[in-house]
Amino acid sequence: MRIALIAVVASSSICTLSRADDFVLSGGGRISGQLANAAESPRAKYEIKLPDGGSITLDKDQVTTVVAPSPEQLEYQRIRHEQPDTVEGQWTLAEWCREHKLTVERKQHLERIIELDTNHVKARSALGYNRIQGQWRTQAEHLSALGKVQYKGQWRYPQEIEIMEARQKADQAKSLWYGNMKRWRDWLGGPKAQQAITELEQVTDPAAVPAICEYMEKEEHEDIRRLYMKALANIGTPAADVYLAERSLKDTSSDIRVSCLDYLDDVPQQSLVNYYIQQLRSKDNDVVNRAGIALSRFKDPRSIAPLIDALVTTHKYAVTTGNGGSLSASRGTGGSGLSTGNSTRIVSMEKENQGVLDGLVNILGGRINYRYDLAAWKHWYAGQKKQKALDVRRS
């Protein structure tokens, strides 16, 4: 406390010494003065003569650095008393300090100017003030008045900071789960396989979903994919459910596809129905039929019209034709070689989708089945909509 007080006094005093060093303190702050015991060796203490005529003695470990004044600072100490304590005199000194890159000293003179003349435009501007709504404010004061705070070198609203920190925590959690998944995958098939299985069965953190999905996507072994599937089902977030819905259509194992659907039976339906309806427009005909079967489980009336539209779909296929596999010579810029005399072209083919039909008939309770007669289905559906509208009016 005593050192801090002396530092404040020293910094506010007018330096009258011909040469003053800055003694940087280990606890923070600095003291300006002349070293009285410069000849002491080895050094045990610092005896410092202060600008106001007093003195102070510091232990060696209380001072980290002694900074000697530059030639510009020495010249500044000489000329500073040649100017009067007026706006003009202080501005002359401020400009001299600017030209000689004495930032701290310049700021002191600019602050003195606005003490003498609160509306001195040049001094205010040099100190970073702007006139805002009739008041002089620095950018920091203005942004603070708007409710912003400094965060990692930028001014942001507290709500922004909250979102950024939440995002950062989420990213850190995701990274952690990628590490967990790599470790557990390495354990599977080894002596720690059961421990890995136990760990996966206990996962409930939603942040684990991206890592589990990525590992399930690239996993070749069906038994391990099944472990990942169960982990996602245990987590049970919308993101996990949508990925299970995707695997119910696209996994190479029919058992896993059915198991994914089984896990989704008790899930709120709306988002899943929307997903499966979207997949009725897939370019993959197998996916279209599987989406139809999946929709039959939910029996949502919203899926009736999309299922009718998907009863017959058009898909593109690559068809190869040729001369029975005979070889023909070909020559190009890269040299000569042999190739079959085959050619491949893309053709469009209509497909009647049994899975879609089964799903549609199932939703309707088996009461109606126009097979693949789209005109009949649409006529029936238009009649249903008309009847529903009449019922609404009557009620």
pLDDT for res 63: 92
Residues 382, 395: Cα–Cα separation, whole Å: 20
For residue 379, what pLDDT is reported? 94
Tell me the CA distances in angstroms from 79 to 74, 75, 82, 89, 306, one per residue in order. 9, 6, 5, 11, 89
The reported pLDDT for the residue numbered 4 is 38
**8 A C-beta contact, residue 378 and residue 308:** yes
CB 295 within 8 A of CB 273: yes
Asked whether 314 and 281 are in contact (CB, 8 A), the reply is: no
- For the CA atoms of 138, 141, 142, 146, the dihedral, rounded to the nearest 10 degrees, stands at 170
Best CA proximity match to 310, nearest among 322, 294, 331, 323: 294
Q: Residues 108, 90: contact at Cβ < 8 Å?
A: no
pLDDT of residue 322: 64
Beta-bridge partner residues of 4: none
Note the pLDDT of residue 320. 80
pLDDT at site 178: 93
Q: Hey, how many other C-beta atoms are within 10 angstroms of the C-beta on 227?
A: 20
pTM: 0.56
Distance from C-alpha of 140 to C-alpha of 38, rounded to nearest angstrom: 43
Separation of alpha carbons 105 and 97, rounded Å: 7
For 25, phi then psi, to 5°, come to -90, 145
- In the predicted model, residues of the chain with pLDDT beneath 50 are 1-18, 325-339
pLDDT digits (tens, 9 = 90+) for 141-200: 888 888 888 888 888 888 888 888 888 877 787 889 999 999 999 999 899 999 999 999
Q: Kindly report the CATH class assigned to 1-69.
A: mainly beta
Q: What is the DSSP letter of 60?
A: G
Distance from the first to the final alpha carbon of the chain: 85
Is 117 exposed, middle or buried (CB count within 10 Å of its CB: 0-12, 13-18, 19+)?
Answer: middle
Longest dimension (CA), the chain: 111
Which helix (H) or strand (E) covers residue 324, if one does?
none
256 burial type by CB count under 10 A (0-12 exposed, 13-18 middle, 19+ buried): buried
* 77 vs 346: CA distance, rounded Å: 88
| pLDDT at 134 (0 to 100) | 82
CA distances from 80 to 16, 84, 123 (A): 10, 9, 18
